[in-house]
Amino acid sequence: MLILASQESIGITYWLRQTIGGGSLLDPVWLLVGCLLPALTWITIFGLFAIWLERKVSAHMQCRLGPMDVGGWHGWAQTLADGVKLLAKEDVIPRATDKILFIIAPIMAFAATFAIFLVLPWGPPIGNLKLVVADLNLGVFYIAAIGSLEGIGVILAGWSSNNKWSLFGAMRTATQLVSYEIPLGVCLITVVLVTGSFSLNEITQQQAGWFWNWFMFRNPFLFVTFIVLFICNLAETKRAPFDLPEAESELVSGFHTEYSGMRFSIFFLAEYAAMYAVSAMTAALFMGGWWTGIKPLDDLVMSHPVGALLGVFVILSKGILLVFVQMWLRWTLPRVRLDQVMYLCLKVLLPFSMACLLGSALWEMYLADYSHLFAIPFGLAVAGALGIATAILGNMYLQSRKYQYA
178: β partners? none
Work out the number of other CB atoms within 10 angstroms of the CB of residue 199: 23
Beta-carbon contacts of 315 under 8 Å, excluding residues fewer than 6 positions away, are 121, 122, 123, 280, 283, 284, 289, 290
Report whether pLDDT(103) > 60.
Answer: yes
Beta-carbon contacts of 177 under 8 Å, excluding residues fewer than 6 positions away, are 148, 151, 235, 236
Q: Which of 20-34, 78-92, 257-271, 292-306 has the lowest mean pLDDT?
A: 20-34
Beta strands in 157-246 (DSSP E): none
Helix residue ranges, H only, 32-97 = 37-61, 78-88
390: helix, coil or strand? helix
pTM of the model: 0.89
Work out the number of other CB atoms within 10 angstroms of the CB of residue 138: 15
Work out the number of other CB atoms within 10 angstroms of the CB of residue 150: 28
Beta-carbon contacts of 178 under 8 Å, excluding residues fewer than 6 positions away, are 151
Report whether pLDDT(352) > 50.
Answer: yes
Query: If you average pLDDT over each of 84-98, 108-122, 243-257, 340-354, which comes out highest?
Result: 340-354
For residue 316, name the pLDDT band (cuts at 50, 70, 90): very high
For residue 24, name the pLDDT band (cuts at 50, 70, 90): low
Cis-peptide into 121, omega within 30 deg: no
Q: Tell me, what's the pLDDT at 4?
A: 40
b/e per residue 248-266 (b: at least 16 CB within 10 A): eeebbbbbbbbbbeebbbb
Average pLDDT score over the chain: 85
Q: Tell me, what's the pLDDT at 2?
A: 34
For residue 1, name the pLDDT band (cuts at 50, 70, 90): very low
Q: Which of 33-47, 50-64, 68-82 has the lowest mean pLDDT?
A: 33-47
- Find, among 103, 234, 111, 233, the residue nearest to 156 by Cα: 103
Report whether pLDDT(23) > 60.
Answer: no
Q: Tell me, what's the pLDDT at 291?
A: 92
The helix-helix angle for 149-160 and 139-147 (nearest 10°) equals 10
Q: Tell me, what's the pLDDT at 341?
A: 92
b/e per residue 76-112 (b: at least 16 CB within 10 A): bbbbeebbeebeeeeeeeeeebeeebbebbbebbbeb
CB 245 within 8 A of CB 254: yes
Report whether pLDDT(115) > 60.
Answer: yes
Largest CA distance in the chain: 68
CA distance 168 to 399: 44
Average pLDDT over residues 299-314: 81
